[in-house]
Structure 1
């Protein structure tokens, strides 16, 4: 399970993203970027962040550490911005926190060179989870101390927005023509050879176990959080076997 912390101070909103995440301080004296259950994109965005973030970490990719942040809505009472106040008030309970990477810079393909090997691993991973939000327009990559970090996985696994069509959706190819790392000649075949064998039922069960029950409750068509966890794992297990053969548009 993810580490649990309690939000003690709301610092400031981060307005770069559409979901209006915020910077918070927690009772472990660390600073986190928090994404809220009350945001318009809903709790499925947080589930996607957990599944993809923890899977990426286990595959050796760099992602910020994740925690659940318990939020008392009373923290919103002193917030002068009505939009932020409403978001805080509607997000009581567990929310998602990501380690704040101080001094990290946004990725710029003209200023930072990526090897074909690293590019291949990231593109393969994005194909696995069907990440449609790692384009050159919005890379969702940070550079810190000369290393590349992956962030913002809320727009992945689009099949979980329509479970009856999940099998068909997950069987589709991945279009990498706009991927931020396409210019670096990603070696997807080598990445698949290294990473696909690691994506096992046991690994996916471990990853999905990190999703808080509260974010899985009352999903239509599922009688328990564990049944929904298995539904998240199945498409990923199937895609891992051959998604490298169905990546379109990589250079």
Structure 2
């Protein structure tokens, strides 16, 4: 194992971290913004609209993201109407194709995650909000969605971690993020073992930091308060009082 090559790989592959984080962050933000209204439609709208959203999530969750990326980047370029449209300015750029694919895929997964969270909110809370005079939009914004997000956060954390790892697929459309830089370096050095060990270590570091951040956010959003507060507020066991007995005659 060439340790010097691994040190060189750390310096080279680190230059791709910025693109990896950019793709991941923008995809998650766009996917989350798209998934919120879709989750409400999926959970509470009439069956025709709910089935339409289900069809979208079923397709994107049931097919590999690599296939979706190839269809968008390589497939649409074969259609003359697409090349002649105003969308070709975006679809011919690998960055925007990757971002669009990742966003749609993340939105499909997040929609189902939030839908399960919305359906888990007790109906008594929404009935109480209606009794207080809150409108449906106010109830959704102030009551239903915050509780559903708190319920869905652990599952959404898995989606965030999955998107960090899934961003490596951008290398297949010539983008030089971490995996793209690794493939380029392997083609020059013919040493895939050392270089991909470094690439895996970088991804592991990113996912570990993300998991810790999500766990911290879960603690902050917990109804019992932060973990330190819960420990301080935990009731102490009561001391057993001595048993008083009276002598029998």
Q: Determine which structure has the larger strand proportion and give its number.
A: 1
- TM-score w.r.t. the length of structure 2 is 0.31
Higher RCO by CA contacts (8 Å cutoff, separation 6 or greater): 2
- The structure that has the greater radius of gyration is 2
- TM-score w.r.t. the length of structure 1 is 0.31
